[in-house]
Amino acid sequence: MRFSQLLLLAGLWAGSAPVQAAAAPPAARPPQTTGTVRKHLIYFTNKANSPYSLSQPQAYLSARALQRRTRQGISLRPRDLPVNPAYVAQVKAVAGVQLWYTSRWFNAAIVACDSTTLAVLNGLSCVRGAETLNRGLAAPRPAEDVPPAVAQRLSSSADYGIAYGQAKMIGAATMHNAGFRGEGMQIAVFDAGFTGVNQVAAFAPLFQEQRIASTFNFVDKNTSVYQRDAHGTQCLSTMAANQPGVFIGTAPKATYRLFITEDSRLNSENPIEEANWLVAAEYADSAGVDVISSSLGYTTFDLPSADYTYADMNGRTAISTRAAVVAARVGMLVVNSAGNEGTSSWRYIAAPADADSILTVGAVDSLRAHAPFSSYGPTADGRIKPNVATQGRQSAIISPSGTVGTGNGTSFSCPIMAGMAAGFWQANPALNAQQVLSFLQRSGTLATAPNNTLGYGIPHFVRAYNLANPNNPLAADSPAVADAALTIYPNPSAGEAMSLHLSAAFRAAPLHVRLFDARGRLVRELRLAATPAADVRLPAIGLVKGLYFCEVSTDKARQTVRFVQL
Catalytic positions, written as ranges: 191, 231, 411
What DSSP designation does 222 have? B
Helix (H) or strand (E) holding 119, with range, is helix 115-122
CA dihedral (464, 468, 472, 478) in degrees, to 10, reads: -10
Evaluate the CA torsion angle 215, 220, 226, 231 in order and state its sign: negative
What DSSP designation does 458 have? -
Residues in Cβ contact with 511 at an 8 Å cutoff, skipping those fewer than 6 apart: 502, 526, 527, 528, 529, 530, 536, 552, 553, 554
Residue 72 near residue 87, CB atoms below 8 Å: no
Residues in Cβ contact with 556 at an 8 Å cutoff, skipping those fewer than 6 apart: 505, 509
How many Cα atoms are found within 13 Å in the side-chain-facing hemisphere of 542?
3
How far CA 323 is from CA of 67, 222, 274, 284, 350, in Å, comes to 21, 22, 9, 12, 14
Longest dimension (CA), the chain: 85
Residue 491 near residue 500, CB atoms below 8 Å: no
Give yes or no for a cis peptide into 18 (omega within 30° of 0). no
Residue 157 near residue 487, CB atoms below 8 Å: yes
Residue 335 near residue 417, CB atoms below 8 Å: yes
Residues in Cβ contact with 207 at an 8 Å cutoff, skipping those fewer than 6 apart: 146, 148, 149, 198
Measured from the Cβ of residue 241, the count of other Cβ atoms closer than 10 Å reads 33
Measured from the Cβ of residue 330, the count of other Cβ atoms closer than 10 Å reads 23
Cα separation, 291 vs 186, whole angstroms? 6
388-391 β-sheet, strand order: 212-217, 255-260, 186-191, 291-294, 333-337, 359-364, 388-391
Q: Give the SS3 label for residue 102.
A: strand
Please state the separation of Cα 331 from the chain's center in Å: 16
Identity of the residue numbered 268: S
Phi-psi region of 21 (alpha: psi -120 to 50; beta: other; left: phi over 0): left
Residue 221 near residue 12, CB atoms below 8 Å: no
Question: For residue 436, which of 278, 317, 328 has the smallest C-alpha distance?
Answer: 328
Residues in Cβ contact with 15 at an 8 Å cutoff, skipping those fewer than 6 apart: 26, 88, 92, 99
